[in-house]
C-alpha cells in the first residue's frame, strides 16, 4: 500500500500545480523545499503573495500594474507622451523597459482569440481611444506577439485607429540576434526580408 501524503502537503502541491508552467513534479519539489525550509521563509512567501494581491492595482490610464494610480510610468513627466506602445500584458512592459523604451504604454491584458471567446470587448482596446483624440499622441506602436491572435489583434487595432490620424506602426519581426539563417522557418525569413532596412 502506497504511503499517504499529509493533507496539508497535498493541498500545497495542488495549489502550486494550478500556477502556469508548474507541473506535478515541480509542484512537489517546491512543496518539499518549503517543508524543509525555515518557517520564516514560508511566512515571507505567503506574506509577499498576500501583499501583492492587496496592494497592486491596474492603472486607470494604461492598465499596467502598479501600487498607485496613475502608475509610475504614466506619472513620469520625463517620458515621451507622443508615443504609445500597445502590449499584450504587463510582462511585456518589463521587457520593453529593459530595452530602454521611453514612451508610454497601453496594456491590453490579452489578445483577440475567437477560439477562446475573447473578442475586442474582453480586452482593453476601447479604453485606448480617448488617449488618442487630444492630438498629443503622434505614433502608436503595436507590439503584440507574432502569433495568429497577436496579428489579428494588431490588424483590428490598425483598422480602428487609422481614421484618427495617428501614425500606426508595428514592431519589426524577423531573425533574432545570434541565430542562424539555416534554422529559421519560412515565415520568420519572409518577415525578416520585408522588414529589411538600409545598412
Q: What is the pLDDT of residues 125-165, one digit of tens each?
A: 999 999 999 899 999 999 999 889 999 999 999 999 999 99
Q: How many CB atoms lie within 10 A of CB 123?
A: 19
- State the average pLDDT over residues 104-130: 95
**Residue 39 grid coordinates:** 518557517
Class of domain 7-55: mainly alpha
- Give the Å distances, CA to CA, from 6 to 3, 11, 44: 9, 9, 23
The helix or strand, by DSSP H or E, that contains position 111, with its residue range, turns out to be: none
Per-residue model confidence as pLDDT tens digits over 51-107: 999 999 999 999 999 999 999 999 999 999 999 999 999 999 999 999 999 999 999
Q: Which residue has the cell 529593459?
A: 98
Q: What is the pTM of this model?
A: 0.84
pLDDT of residue 90: 96
CA pair distance 119, 100, nearest whole angstrom = 31
Span(s) in the chain for CATH 3.40.1360.10: 71-170
Tell whether omega for the bond before 70 is within 30 degrees of 0, i.e. cis: yes
CATH class of 71-170: alpha beta
Residue 104 contacts residue 85 (beta carbons within 8 Å): yes
3-state DSSP helix/strand/coil percent for the chain, to nearest 5?
50, 10, 40
Regarding beta strands 83-87 and 167-170, do their DSSP bridges make them parallel or antiparallel, or are they unpaired? unpaired
Q: Which residues of the chain are in CATH 1.10.8.420 domains?
A: 7-55
pLDDT attached to residue 3: 67
DSSP string, 45-93: HHHHHHHHHHH-EE-TTT--EESSSS-HHHH-TTS-TTEEEEESSHHHH
Amino acid at each position: 500500500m502506497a504511503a499517504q501524503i499529509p493533507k496539508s502537503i497535498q493541498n500545497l502541491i495542488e495549489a502550486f500545480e494550478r500556477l502556469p508552467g508548474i507541473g506535478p513534479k515541480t509542484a512537489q519539489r517546491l512543496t518539499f523545499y518549503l517543508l524543509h525550509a525555515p518557517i520564516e521563509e514560508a511566512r515571507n512567501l505567503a506574506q509577499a503573495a498576500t501583499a501583492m494581491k492587496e496592494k497592486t492595482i491596474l492603472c486607470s490610464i494604461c492598465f499596467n500594474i502598479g501600487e498607485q494610480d496613475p502608475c509610475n510610468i504614466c506619472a513620469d513627466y520625463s517620458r515621451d507622451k507622443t508615443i504609445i506602445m500597445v502590449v499584450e500584458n504587463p510582462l511585456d512592459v518589463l521587457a520593453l523597459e529593459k530595452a530602454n523604451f521611453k514612451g508610454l504604454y497601453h496594456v491590453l491584458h490579452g489578445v483577440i482569440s475567437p477560439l477562446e471567446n475573447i473578442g475586442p470587448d474582453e480586452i482593453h482596446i476601447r479604453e485606448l481611444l480617448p488617449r488618442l483624440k487630444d492630438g498629443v499622441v503622434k505614433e502608436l506602436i503595436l507590439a503584440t506577439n507574432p502569433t495568429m491572435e497577436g496579428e489579428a489583434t494588431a490588424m483590428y487595432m490598425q483598422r480602428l485607429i487609422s481614421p484618427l490620424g495617428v501614425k500606426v506602426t508595428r514592431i519589426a519581426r524577423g531573425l533574432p540576434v545570434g541565430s542562424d539563417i539555416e534554422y529559421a522557418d519560412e515565415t520568420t525569413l519572409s518577415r525578416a526580408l520585408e522588414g529589411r532596412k538600409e545598412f
